[in-house]
A and B are shown apart, each in its own frame.
Chain A
Amino acid sequence: MSDPILSTAGLGKKFGNFAANSDIDFSVQEGELRAVIGPNGAGKTTFFNLLSGLSNPTSGTVRFKDDDITRLSGPRRVARGIAKAFQTANIYPDETVLQNCRFAALAKVQGSFRPEFFRASQRLSPVESIAHEALSLVDLTPRAEERAGDLSHGDKKRLDIAIALATEPQVLLLDEPVAGMSIEEVHKTDQLIRALAKRMTVLIIEHDMDLIMGLSDSITVLHQGRVLAQGTPAEVRANHTVQQAYLGGYAE
């Protein structure tokens, strides 16, 4: 097996005495579609935050390709190619849908801090084309000129994904991409994630088991902040300890 694109070793995060994540050894191959599941409070979101740089671990390391990125800030990880879509759509509600993606494309083109005080961003190619491409990937092109805050819940979440895509990531982290969506919206997002997985590595946290089982190449199960099991959907489904963790005590 080749070197993983993203991996962690002994990763842990403590809040006071509470260990939200402990001793997580994790690795994902380039092009893989990996789901991270677990009961509520299992530490999935904490784990994603450690991967995206939203928070720093209290122990262990995170590696991206050959580099140790444990101490790298969020914006710098985005620049390396790790983007994240949020659990609750994290967008710019007062801007147009297209402008939301333009911001991200601008960050991709300009980096974390390279201000142009006298030049408008319209003149910075290829901002426009990156933004349009991201919108067309999530099928929001017809909505480009609408105010983002006026979109439906499902479209807002897809816009959040489009924002992440406009940073041209190699690894995309999706935190509950279908939470609160209608059946039709779930189906549409399912198709979207499959399409994205052909272009990049996708990590996904999700509670919708039907979606996960049909979608992912492999699944990591977290329980009480630790890796409980890992394997193909079929292996995880058959795993006795996983069934215990889901059914005993922490049933949803």
Chain B
Amino acid sequence: MMRELRFYGLLVLGLVLFPFALHPIGGYAGLATQILLVGIATMGFNLLLGYAGLLSYGQAMFYGVGSYVALLTVSKFFPQFPNMWLAIVLAVLFVSVLAFLIGALTVRLYGIYFALLTLAFAQMFYFIVFQWRDLTQGDDGLQGITAPPLWVFTNIDLTTTFPSLNLGPFGNLSDVHYWYAFAAIVSLLVIAFMRVLIRSQFGEVLGAIRENEQRSTFIGFNPQRYKLAAFTIAGALSGLSGALRGLYETSTAPDSLTIETSGNFVIYTIVGGVKTILGPMVGTAIIMYLQNVISAKTDAWRLIEGILFVAVIVFLPGGILGSFKRKRARKIFSEALSTETP
């Protein structure tokens, strides 16, 4: 009980300080919001890679489709109901069903075959979004779609800033929008959800299946169904993340469904720490910080990202948060890629 209290206490403190901590190192408060929103998808992805041993290379399809459904709900489907919850709920529901269907077709495969089939589906959705101009505006993407207010007993405009208060080297309190507070609360809930899920009977069985699928089958579990459940949950979290990011940015584009976006989730997770709850969020923060801040200073930021990725795998094989854990990332990664059928 004390441990839980301490964990959540530190977590809340960290979330409160985060946007201001970015200021002296060249970041900005808006980046903190983006990191938390994307990190939600990364945490979902880690449920697959870290806990179920499945390397999905198509996670961007759920993230991207989530952003499109949310923004289309606002602009096309239900413009008569300007309510952000409606956009979020519809996006998550749609993506959950999509993830369930695609999971049903893919979780039977192992290793690289699973990775390639998920990638193939993601590419398919990329081209659908790219080509279906009437609905999606093709490669222009959906632009300038103002997010409706968030109803919490009263309508809240999330673009409102906090009152002005000079914080010296840490910027100003008014740098932070209500959006950040919303992103922080949702992240906190997702982290709590993941923590309970991993410790639940479901998380335990998922671990058994990852470690020895054949034995798990011959003690009476149905691995395919457990994996499908994990795939659907991961997809739903990606959809939530994409929906919030789209609403926050007031735009989305086919970029959100590319192989590069899918690859980012892999990199974030491995750098931060597979098989840790907070690792994916930490990895997302570090790499997105590099992508945003370093890329402004040098064109070679991709090189820096690559070197960091390799350095983590070689020197901190459990990722930055997981390096003290017994189960190493390299092993999890190679297990996920193994095509050996149990």
Which A residues are within 8 Å of any B CB, using their own CB? 52, 54, 73-76, 78-79, 83-84, 86, 90-95, 103-104, 106-108, 110-113, 115-121, 124, 163-164, 166-167
Contact = CB atoms under 8 A, between A and B. Distances in A.
A238 B241 CA distance: 73
Interface of B: 196-197, 199-202, 204-205, 208, 211-212, 214-222, 225-226, 229, 326-327
A104 B217 CA distance: 10
Contacts of A103: 204-205, 208, 215-216, 219
Given A52-B218, A83-B218, A111-B220, A106 B211 contact: no
Pick the most buried of B199, B201, B218: most chain A CB atoms within 10 A of its CB.
Answer: B218
Contact of A117 (B202, B218, B219, B220): B202
Q: Is the interface of A mostly helix, strand, loop or mixed?
A: loop
B229 A92 contact: no
Given A75-B222, A112-B220, A118-B196, 11 more contacts: A76-B220, A90-B212, A92-B208, A92-B212, A95-B211, A103-B204, A106-B204, A113-B222, A115-B201, A116-B200, A167-B219
A107 B221 contact: yes
Contact of B217 (A75, A94, A121): A75
A168 to B, nearest CB: 10
A79 B218 CA distance: 10
B51 to A, nearest CB: 13
A93 B215 CA distance: 11
Contacts of B229: 115
Q: Is the interface of B mostly helix, strand, loop or mixed?
A: helix
A163 B201 contact: no
A106 to B, nearest CB: 7
Given A75-B220, A94-B327, A103-B219, A119 B201 contact: yes
Contacts of A106: 201, 204-205
Contact of A94 (B196, B218, B326): B326
Contacts of A167: 219-220
Contacts of A118: 196-197, 200
Nearest to A94: B211
A163 B196 CA distance: 26
A90 B221 contact: no
A54 B341 CA distance: 12
B237 to A, nearest CB: 13
A90 B215 contact: yes
A128 to B, nearest CB: 13
B202 A74 contact: no
A223 to B, nearest CB: 27
A78 B220 contact: yes
Given A92-B212, A94-B211, A113-B225, A107 B202 contact: no
A83 B220 CA distance: 9
B200 A163 contact: no
